[in-house]
Structure 1
Amino acid sequence: MSTNTNSVRGLPRYPVYALGRLTKALHAEIDVPLRDHWALTFIAENADLTQKKVGDSLGIDRSEVVRLIDALERAGLVERTRDGKDRRKYRLRITEAGRKQCKRTDKVIAEATARVLDRLDEDEQRTLHRLAVAALGTSPESPV
């Protein structure tokens, strides 16, 4: 990550700016759209989801969810089937290929995160994670 902050000297005082820069640095380190991975992970961890639930839970607009799920389905990572009780709804299920993709991407994200946060020691990384998750109002299931 670039250390030249001359043009943005005052901006790091805003925590969300700093977190945004870290996120941007992480994106630059990996070749996987993070939103796709977050959706795939969410589907893997929650059985029998609807597209609406994915969108609501992840804060993704309905039309974007449709495009996202279309892409994941075309890639063979999720299966979409009609709801037995309401034919207007689709139920989502991760495929075995999707599970393998999640596992590979988790590893890539962990490696990239280590590079992006290399200025912090392990304790500082855990603290950053804990504080970021606390700011969201949740608790991490598995700390850094």
Structure 2
Amino acid sequence: MKRANRPCLRKKEGYTLLELLVSLSILALLTVTLLGTGFNSRDAFSDSAYDAECEKILYALLQYQNEAIMDGYRRQVRFLDDGMRVVWTKNGVSQTEQIAVKTLRFTGSYTGATALNLYGHGTVSQGGTINLTSLSGDVKRIVVQVGNGRIYLDES
């Protein structure tokens, strides 16, 4: 018996309605699962912003300490509510720089009336800690050692 050459009724392109419904139901199930487990991208973003600001403060302190060593002029650092202020006088001209923060608060040895002085020979005025507290309550500490003037982020 001879087969008739008939055109195929179903094209091979595109998706069927059933395939689309199955895909959408899987996507909805994954979305509900992620929301139910407490996944929140805003928290992940704020944590990474906090980490970045902690590193920014640490590296700024190290930079100002290196500049004091290079040019011999003392830097005075104050930790305020809205950021870190660094003041120094070079060749009779007073200079000030402000480093703003948005995701953390400062507490510890150098807040209030006490300032951290970074001297030209690499030492500091006093040892202590700078607590970097996130808006959610996480705390990282920058440690300043008296004597050798070492400044580092305490990861413990």
More helix by share: 1
Same topology, TM > 0.5: no
Q: TM-score, normalised by structure 1?
A: 0.26
More strand by share: 2
Q: TM-score, normalised by structure 2?
A: 0.25
The structure with the larger Rg is 2
